[in-house]
């Protein structure tokens, strides 16, 4: 784990955030998510400087994970150190406010 991943893990582990359980380094399909909460279908990814060069790869990964039913939140590593409260609040809000589910009876969804 990177230093940023260690810090965020310290803040997420043991159901510290609204009682939601996160796991780290979670295999999902062909990818490994930095942090995942399966019950909320939420993935948290931390990106370092190398991600500016691989934005297209990250976009494809996010699309694949979304099709698998996950929402993906991305934060820069530096943000975990400079704004950890803001990062946690964004994650908390995503956990408590899941997106609306499509209605098959109205022909929504896949």
What is the tens place of the pLDDT at every residue in 45-92? 998 866 456 778 888 999 999 999 999 999 999 999 999 999 999 999
Measure the CA–CA gap between 79 and 87, rounded to whole angstroms: 7
Question: ∠ CA 45-36-99 to the nearest 5 degrees?
Answer: 90
**Which sequence spans correspond to the domains of the chain?**
3-31+44-50+60-98
pTM of the model: 0.84
65-96 burial, b if ≥16 CB within 10 A, otherwise e? beeeebbbbebbbebbeeebeebbeebeebbe
């Amino acid at each position: 784990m990177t230093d940023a991943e260690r810090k965020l893990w310290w803040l997420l582990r043991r159901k510290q955030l609204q009682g939601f359980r996160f796991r780290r380094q979670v295999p999902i399909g062909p990818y490994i998510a930095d942090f995942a909460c399966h019950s909320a279908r939420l993935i948290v990814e931390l990106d370092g400087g190398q991600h500016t060069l691989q934005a297209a790869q990250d976009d494809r990964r996010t699309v694949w994970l979304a099709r698998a039913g996950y929402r993906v939140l991305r934060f820069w590593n530096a943000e975990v150190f400079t704004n950890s409260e803001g990062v946690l609040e964004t994650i908390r809000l995503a956990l408590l406010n899941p997106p609306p589910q499509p209605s098959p009876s109205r022909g929504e969804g896949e």
